[in-house]
Each structure stands twice: as structure tokens, then as C-alpha cells.
Amino acid sequence: MAETTGVISEAVLSGRREYETVYANLAKGKRNWQVVAFGITGILGIVSVGFVRLALTSRVTPYVVEVDRFGRAQAFGPVEPLKKTDTRVVIAQLAAFVRDVRSVMPSPPAEAEVLTRAYAFADQGAATFLNQYFSDIRNDPRVLGRTETRIVEVTSVLPVPKSATWKVQWVETEYPTAVGTPVASAWEGYFGVRVVPPATTDAIEINPLGVYVTSVTWTRVGAASVPAAGMEGQ
């Protein structure tokens, strides 16, 4: 009888061990699958965030197309980033900026167009200066355009050594809308400049070279005078 009991106990223990082994393996396998599932979910979340950021970020690759005199494309390819901004680019852009912000047009739409073009190249510091300057009715080109036209001729654009500042000199000639004599005056100003390559389509359209004016100071040099006959005819 004792032998039978011992055999039964051994069989029960053996069965229990087998049961625990099978279910332990199942539980362990379930845990492993849970870890894998959480890992895949995390990877999918990271990938989804990456796709969303790529979708929201515009990537523009500007191309240069060379055409012949008939307008047929001869050569084209992506524009390579400039390792160093050509000084001539800054000079041309700065001269255009000065002409736009200092000119006075008799036509309100034309005046609005040149100011909009100028503000596209003005950084926050320069825009603040221009807003304060134009807020004075004596400097508001929309008001001045009712009685005069101002033409600006840039005569010099030079970099200030060891700085991001440029010195610009120009001549302004004011032509009265009614009867009167034109008056010319010399001006000079100092402009801070920084170059930020455009990264979006909108930036390329309004400021393709990425030249921004960061600060502005200007003053008239000497007294106003009657322009020479050659200048008056311009």
C-alpha cells in the first residue's frame, strides 16, 4: 500500500512539474510578445512623428536654367549653396533697399509696392526703425507723395572693416508735384546686414538671396541745394 501511495505521489509531483513548466513557458512567451509589441508601437510612433515633421517642413531645391536667345533650355541643374556670399550681391541688394525705403512715389499703389519690397529685406530691428520713422507724418511717404516725388541715386556702398555694418551714401532729389524747383540733398547711413539662405518657397520668392538688413541709421549731409541741369533732367 505504501509503495502504491509513493508511486501516486511521484506521479502527482511529476504532473505538477510538467504543468508548471508548460504554463511557465506560455507566460514567458506572452511576456516576450508584449515587449515586442510595445517596442514596435514605439518605433511606429517615432516614424509617424518623423513623417509628420517632414510633411510640415517645406524643402525647396532651387534650379538655375540657362536659355538661349530663343528661350530654349541649354543647361540646368540645382543651385549649389554659396560658401561665401559675394560682396557684389550684398552691395546690389543694399542699394536697392535704400532706394526703396527713401523713394517717394506720387502713386499710392506704386509707393505701397516699393515699401512692401523693402520690408521683405528688413529684419526685426530694421523694421522697428522704419515703423517709427514713417510714423512721423513728416516722413510718411504716403503723405509726401501728395506734393512731391523723391528720386534716390545711391553713390557709394562700402563695408565697415571687421564688422557686419555697411556705409551707404546717396543723393535724394525732390521734385514738387506742382510748380517749384527740384531740391537735391546728400545722405549717408549705416546698415547692419546678415545673410540667411532661404529655406522655404515664400522666402525664395520675396528674398531669394537671403540678405537682411538688421539695423538702420541715416542722416542728411550738408544743406539741400538745387541740382545741376543734367541731374534735373533725370
In a domain, 37, yes or no: no
In a domain, 157, yes or no: yes
Q: How many domains does the chain have?
A: 1
pTM: 0.62
Would you place residue 36 in the very low, low, confident or very high pLDDT band (cuts 50, 70, 90)? confident
Q: Is the pLDDT of residue 3 over 70?
A: no
Q: Which residue has the cell 530663343?
A: 70
Report the 10 Å Cβ neighbour count for 211: 20
Domain containing 197: what range? 83-232
85 or 100, which is more confident? Answer: 100
In a domain, 17, yes or no: no
d(CA 167, CA 190): 5
101-122 in b/e form (b: 16+ CB < 10 A) is bbbbbeeeeebeebbebbbebb
In a domain, 139, yes or no: yes
What pLDDT is recorded for position 225? 74
Q: Which of 171, 193, 173 is closest to 183 using CA atoms?
A: 173
**pLDDT tens readout for residues 89-118:** 889 999 999 999 999 999 999 999 999 999
d(CA 93, CA 62): 19
Would you place residue 234 in the very low, low, confident or very high pLDDT band (cuts 50, 70, 90)? very low
In a domain, 226, yes or no: yes
Q: Are 130 and 140 in contact (CB under 8 A)?
A: no
Whole-Å CA distances, 123 to 27, 84, 160, 212, 214 = 64, 20, 19, 6, 5
Under DSSP, the state recorded for 233 is T
In a domain, 228, yes or no: yes
Report the 10 Å Cβ neighbour count for 67: 11
65 or 173, which is more confident? Answer: 173
Q: Is the pLDDT of residue 24 over 70?
A: no
111 or 85, which is more confident? Answer: 111
What pLDDT is recorded for position 45? 82
**pLDDT tens readout for residues 149-161:** 999 999 999 999 9
Report the 10 Å Cβ neighbour count for 45: 10
Q: Give the mean pLDDT of the chain.
A: 80
In a domain, 175, yes or no: yes
Would you place residue 233 in the very low, low, confident or very high pLDDT band (cuts 50, 70, 90)? very low
122 or 30, which is more confident? Answer: 122
**pLDDT tens readout for residues 162-212:** 899 999 999 999 999 887 889 999 999 999 999 887 777 777 777 878 889
What pLDDT is recorded for position 37? 76
In a domain, 135, yes or no: yes
Q: Are 130 and 216 in contact (CB under 8 A)?
A: yes
34 or 88, which is more confident? Answer: 88
Name residues whose C-beta falls within 8 Å of residue 78's C-beta, 6 or more positions apart in sequence: 61, 62, 63, 64
Domain of 123: which CATH number? 3.10.450.230
What pLDDT is recorded for position 7? 52
Report the 10 Å Cβ neighbour count for 124: 9
d(CA 204, CA 31): 54
What is the end-to-end Cα distance of the chain in Å, rounded? 131
